[in-house]
Structure 1
Amino acid sequence: MTPPTPLLGARTLDRETARSLPPGSRLPTFVQTVMFARHRKTFFPRLRARYGDVFTIRLVPSSRVVVVLSRPEHIREVFGTPPSIAHAGEGNTALAPIMGQHSLLLVDDEDHVRMRRQLMPAFNGHALRGYAEMIARLARDEVGKWPVGTPFRLHDRMRDLTLEVILQVVFGVTDSDRLDRLRPLVEKIVSVGPVIMLGGFYPVLLELPPWRTFLRAQRQVDEILYDEIARRRTDPKLAERNDVLSKLLAAGTWSDVELRDQLVTLLLAGHETTATSLAWAFHELARRPDQLRAGQQAADAGDDAYLDAMGKEALRLHPVVYQVGRRLTATAEIAGYRLPRGTTLMAAIGLVHSDEQNFSDARIFRPDRFLGDTPPAPGTWIPFGGGTRRCIGAGFSLLESTEILRAALTQYDVQAPDPTPEPAKPRNVTLVPANGCTITATKRT
């Protein structure tokens, strides 16, 4: 493992360097941390309006220096910086107690290159086409159970569905007894909150409740995963299986611990995010009859390009993850500033997506902006990050969205009981509809 780079923070920041940093808030670190954790969708635009496209905030632990960037050209500089200098894994250290030290999100340099290479065969185009029918079947089963004529929280339903996709398509678990045991345990893992994530910065907390309760559930999930890995290693029909775990075993050389960490990463990174992007898509369709009709026509006609565009536009208008981070391992020139080793760089996805310079009518849900001969300019649509650290599961997520939209739109009309848009609220590292995307579904005539 690569030795961690010390954070640039209150204890390591000298006065001369402090004067050369981009301008930023003078609020106490704890206040800035709370504002970032709970109100980043309004906090960041206010800071940009006051301090410009590049600004500095300070967050726990150790009053660390975070430089936030909101212009595509500056973010391209970050994504284009050699990964040996801009470490993404070190920007995710709070996830270590949850995902594991070998998670693709937490490793850097040679470890990241090796693991990403071994993961790629399970997420290339050929593999994705093989998952489509399994996802479509699970989607049809779930949407067929939607209540008709009664308002319900669609986000909860989407979370149940994307969890089932992870368990069956990614983990390859199809035994009903094992699924019944896994579902409630995994739900505890994926519902991890910011308080639990503090254990990544303050390991002493892991010995106390509620961290101890979380770790107990995690150990129970691990027991099942390790048993599943052991069974799969000895399965004579491994090459015939079409789940992600089997493809990983067939394509790479993994230790059990490394495999476990990748599976938990795929669970946490691919469950809540896809469920939330779908909830936002239906949130818009329930309030825009013209877009609903267009989506239904695409679903009926098998127009995957339009369904894909709907998923992309939901991710643009309502970025599930508002920002991604890197930590500098050496001094680097970024956005016109000479930033020292240990600085955390934060690419503000939400600010880029909402900028009228990047997207005309940026507040309007308009999937056709992703179709035709003039797609969004490079670097302006970045819900999956960018560079060598772009989310490896991006294609899987968009495929899942397309199949679920198809399953629902071929069966239902959807309306919003309250036409007022639901605001976004933070849920862990994501931004979700405040009322769970409450909709009413009726059978199409």
Structure 2
Amino acid sequence: MSQTPLLGARTLDRETARALPPGPRLPTLVQTVLFASHRKTYFPKLRRRYGEVFTIRLVPSSRVVVVLSRPDHIREVFGTPPTVAHAGEGNTVLAPIMGDHSLLLLDDDDHVRMRRQLMPAFNGHALRSYTGMIADLARAEVESWPVGEPFRLHERMRTLTLEVILQVVFGVTDQDRLAQLRPLVEKVVSVRPVIMLGGFYPRLLRLPPWRTYLETQRQVDEILYDEIGARRNQQNLAERNDVLSRLLAAGTWSDVELRDQLVTLLLAGHETTATALAWAFHELARRPDQLRAGQVAADEGDDDYLEAITKEAMRLHPVIYQVGRRLTETVEVAGYRLPRGTTLMAAIGLVHSDEEHFPGAGDFRPQRFLSDNPPAPATWIPFGGGARRCIGAGFSLLEATEILRAALTRYDVHAVRPRPETAQPRNVTLVPSRGCEVLMTRR
């Protein structure tokens, strides 16, 4: 499948430029740095100045990016046929890391086929089968937390969600193999933005640090291919409750396709869930009434309330601030006629902070997801939407619920400092600036 050319400085004629939504005239590199490092403050400033639809330009090739912040406009994008609004092309920078067969990089029929094969591992029946394993891992981890002394919870969340990926998704339970995988996978998931530039400039991949990263990735791949091969030869796949086994039992895969999906699940599901949980504990530690409500829910098995805690943390602190699509043909969106090659960006963070859709948007209120008037469709979109909504959304919420239950039945959570932590960019996510410093005491 050929790529849709980016609409950028080299392909943007004057007439089209005049018809685009307004936006800043700063140099492309400056806009890119502001977007990468300060998007949570930069985007609100742009919306105040230019309105709910505005244009920015980012590397490579000074590409044209139209940013949308109204739910009805975002619904237009999510409702646009996937053949017209390509999400995979918007993620090409990830190709050297995730692989060409990654669900995040595919479009059209290839995406439909791959998503259909992945679905059996993430439907309701499959999710219920993972609950026990996740709960066991969560209990073991939270029991190891220091009591009565401050620590950075985000790192412990990353450790735990990585273990869930290795054992529940990859299905690796052999302790020697886990000991071999953990340090390698930790290096893979700690990919820096500079490494992602290799997706735009392939020649970089021959140089350090790109070459070093790819060598680590090759070592992980070697283990994954070995696991895939061993699993193919097992006769009891139907009895196993890990994602890899379910994928093998339900679909027809090449080893490379399976590898790419496993790495995608690793990179997309590790940092995001860990960060969402860190923000949840960050808020609970500063709100005794909400902490107590969460503890009651954990004690009584109220999964809906525990899930609402996670949802509200994801709303108040978007882990992923935006998602993108690239137009394969000229379409009208938000009242503008946008040409082929334009990148559309749904600004999740701007929608989640809008008082019109979330009264008291700056406050932490899990109850808003349990009321008779819950948030309207396309206003809570941490997992994207439409045909490209994150396939692991249910898994992530299940995982968060079990981890909250394990922690809140055991501990009171206290903030180390009264001042809230700010959101700091870390790769593609926004994380607590001090790592979510907390102090745990036994209940």
TM-score (norm 1): 0.99
Give the 4+ runs in structure 1 shifted more than 6 A.
Answer: none
1:7 counterpart residue number: 6
2:20 counterpart residue number: 21
Which runs of structure 2 are paired with 1:19-58 in the superposition (5 Å)? 19-58=18-57
2:300 counterpart residue number: 301
Counterpart AA for 2:324:
G
Counterpart AA for 1:344:
T
Cα deviation for residue 372 of structure 1 reads 2.6
Give the Cα separation in 2 of the matches to 1:98 and 1:299. Answer: 38
Give the Cα separation in 2 of the matches to 1:398 and 1:328. Answer: 31
Counterpart AA for 1:436:
G
Cα deviation for residue 285 of structure 1 reads 0.3
Cα deviation for residue 374 of structure 1 reads 1.1
Cα deviation for residue 239 of structure 1 reads 1.3
1:443 counterpart residue number: 442
Query: What whole-Å deviation, never above 9, does each CA across 1:221-255 have from its counterpart, x for those lacking one?
Result: 00000000000000011111110000000010010
Determine helix, strand or coil for the equivalent of 2:396.
helix
1:428 counterpart residue number: 427
Which runs of structure 2 are paired with 1:298-377 in the superposition (5 Å)? 298-377=297-376
Which runs of structure 2 are paired with 1:7-406 in the superposition (5 Å)? 7-406=6-405
Cα deviation for residue 276 of structure 1 reads 0.1
Determine helix, strand or coil for the equivalent of 1:320.
coil
Determine helix, strand or coil for the equivalent of 1:101.
coil
Give the Cα separation in 1 of the matches to 2:68 and 2:343. Answer: 11
Give the Cα separation in 1 of the matches to 2:372 and 2:288. Answer: 26
Give the Cα separation in 2 of the matches to 1:424 and 1:325. Answer: 21
Cα deviation for residue 43 of structure 1 reads 0.4
Give the Cα separation in 2 of the matches to 1:418 and 1:74. Answer: 40
Query: What whole-Å deviation, never above 9, does each CA across 1:379-431 have from its counterpart, x for those lacking one?
Result: 10000000000000000000000000000000000101101000000000000
Unaligned runs of 5+ in 1: none
Counterpart AA for 1:350:
G
Cα deviation for residue 331 of structure 1 reads 0.2
Query: What whole-Å deviation, never above 9, does each CA across 1:267-286 have from its counterpart, x for those lacking one?
Result: 00000000000000000000
Give the Cα separation in 2 of the matches to 1:76 and 1:193. Answer: 31
Give the Cα separation in 2 of the matches to 1:249 and 1:25. Answer: 49
Counterpart AA for 1:13:
L
Determine helix, strand or coil for the equivalent of 2:270.
helix
Counterpart AA for 1:93:
T
Counterpart AA for 1:422:
E
Give the Cα separation in 2 of the matches to 1:300 and 1:238. Answer: 35
Give the Cα separation in 2 of the matches to 1:416 and 1:372. Answer: 28
Counterpart AA for 2:237:
L
Counterpart AA for 2:47:
R
Determine helix, strand or coil for the equivalent of 1:425.
strand
Determine helix, strand or coil for the equivalent of 2:113.
helix
Give the Cα separation in 1 of the matches to 2:371 and 2:126. Answer: 27
Give the Cα separation in 2 of the matches to 1:224 and 1:258. Answer: 15
Counterpart AA for 1:438:
E
Determine helix, strand or coil for the equivalent of 2:7.
coil
Count of residue correspondences: 443
Counterpart AA for 2:249:
A
Query: What whole-Å deviation, never above 9, does each CA across 1:8-60 have from its counterpart, x for those lacking one?
Result: 00000000000000000100000000000000000000000000000000000
Give the Cα separation in 2 of the matches to 1:372 and 1:425. Answer: 31
Cα deviation for residue 98 of structure 1 reads 0.3
Over aligned residue pairs, what C-alpha RMSD do you find?
0.4
Counterpart AA for 2:356:
Q
Give the Cα separation in 2 of the matches to 1:312 and 1:24. Answer: 32
Query: What whole-Å deviation, never above 9, does each CA across 1:77-130 have from its counterpart, x for those lacking one?
Result: 000000000000000010000000000000000000000000000000000000
Give the Cα separation in 2 of the matches to 1:253 and 1:317. Answer: 40
Give the Cα separation in 2 of the matches to 1:67 and 1:264. Answer: 30
